[in-house]
Chain A
């Protein structure tokens, strides 16, 4: 019921915002993988999204999050995440916040474009947005009320490499995460993605269903153990087709269905996101 309400809410917001006046939107189809494109300087991107994980033994959990992304400069983008979790059996909870920064050290476009990523997380064990997957082992499935009491401060780093190959974007991310609240060593993860715009030439007319408004791709992500143990058999890996649809010049709808490839991974990870872009401080 809650999932249905979430979906109805997101589609309603998408429908209303599709009629918004035009402006810029840079659509990244990926949910987990980052490419080298940062937010436009002075632009605020507001995103609402949801990750629904469906474990092999039932007990789906839905994790909505709000994302505020701001282009501070051409080479620095900052983001604030607020996230929650809900399930039919266990009720709902706020699971924490994240502060993310991405820095692009090189000035122009190169064969491989590096971006450095640093994130601080103040979350609890009930967190289920699965924006990155690190380490190994199954996600804990105690009741949400119990998990929310287990708080963690985490520091996460990523090396993002991204290239333009013909019409395709090819991105690779290496993830390092350190739980500052527990002695778990450093956990590792990865994500890789390829995507491309569907259209080539832009039509002169305003259109919503033109090929030029769609970006499609595929991403794969998972954990790679930790400094304590590689634990190959317990790792979680996913592969997920992704699609982004520019509903209007300001708004984008994104969707992805991730398929769990290993025993500890959820059977499916359904993600849906709605992005609204707002320019701030632009004067004639």
Chain B
């Protein structure tokens, strides 16, 4: 009797877990997810230290690329971080978002990273965007020639 109840519990848990896994794969952008104005106004303390962006690139590769893609252009689980709507946000807003996460939309909380490393990630996003723009310009010039 106990064994049968045990098996029923296992089947129920596995079935419910599978259903949730399927639902969990659907990601929608949360328009209500905005940083408070005070947090958005914070400047990046590493903005004057471009040499720290390399550390940000390494962190991005480790922490973010699995969801946002290796170049930050987005993948099945995370949006395009080079997108104009993301890049228009302040450094403080991006810092707040990666520190707080948005568990309902599948964005983890990265407050376990030391604060300087979270600023390094923000710096990397800016550097990566500028690099992508530079590459696009260079491609446009060579095509025009």
Q: Which residues of A contact B108 (CB under 8 A)?
A: 26, 37-38, 40-41, 74
Give residues of chain B (102-123) contacting chain A, Cβ–Cβ below 8 Å: 102-109, 111-117, 120
Q: Which residues of B contact A283 (CB under 8 A)?
A: 75-76
Q: Which residues of B contact A183 (CB under 8 A)?
A: none
Give residues of chain B (80-136) contacting chain A, Cβ–Cβ below 8 Å: 99-109, 111-117, 120
Q: Which residues of A contact B106 (CB under 8 A)?
A: 41, 73-74
Give residues of chain B (54-92) contacting chain A, Cβ–Cβ below 8 Å: 54-59, 61-63, 65-67, 69, 75-77
Nearest CB on B from A56, distance (A): 36
Known: A26-B112, A75-B104, A167-B114. A204 touches B57 (CB 8 A): yes
B6 — nearest CB in chain A belongs to which residue? A122
A284 x B120 contact (CB < 8 A): no
Bound complex: CA A201 to CA B52 (Å):
8
Measured as residues with beta carbon below 8 angstroms from the partner, the interface class of chain B is 35 or more
Q: Which residues of B contact A201 (CB under 8 A)?
A: 52, 55, 114, 116-117, 120
A281 — nearest CB in chain B belongs to which residue? B25
Residue B141 lies at the interface, judged by CB distance under 8 Å to chain A? no
Give residues of chain A (4-39) contacting chain B, Cβ–Cβ below 8 Å: 22-26, 35-38
How many A-B residue pairs lie within 8 Å, measured between CB atoms? 131
Known: A122-B6, A283-B75. A206 touches B58 (CB 8 A): yes
Q: Which residues of A contact B104 (CB under 8 A)?
A: 74-75, 107
Known: A37-B112, A41-B77, A109-B99. A99 touches B117 (CB 8 A): no
Give residues of chain A (192-210) contacting chain B, Cβ–Cβ below 8 Å: 197, 199-206
Residue A72 lies at the interface, judged by CB distance under 8 Å to chain B? yes
A248 — nearest CB in chain B belongs to which residue? B62
Main secondary structure of the interface of B (DSSP, over half): helix
- Which residue of B21, B24, B54, B113 is within 8 Å of A197 (Cβ)? B113
Residue A282 lies at the interface, judged by CB distance under 8 Å to chain B? yes
B102 x A202 contact (CB < 8 A): no
Nearest CB on B from A151, distance (A): 9
Nearest CB on A from B44, distance (A): 13
Q: Which residues of A contact B24 (CB under 8 A)?
A: 41-42, 72-73
Question: Can you give 21 contacting A-B residue pairs, CB < 8 Å?
Answer: A23-B66, A37-B108, A40-B67, A41-B108, A70-B21, A74-B104, A76-B20, A78-B13, A104-B103, A107-B103, A108-B109, A109-B100, A109-B111, A122-B6, A153-B2, A153-B6, A167-B114, A169-B112, A201-B120, A202-B117, A206-B58
Q: Apart from A72-B20, A206-B58, A282-B67, what 9 extra A-B contacts exist at CB < 8 Å?
A: A42-B25, A70-B17, A73-B106, A197-B112, A200-B114, A201-B116, A205-B54, A281-B76, A283-B75
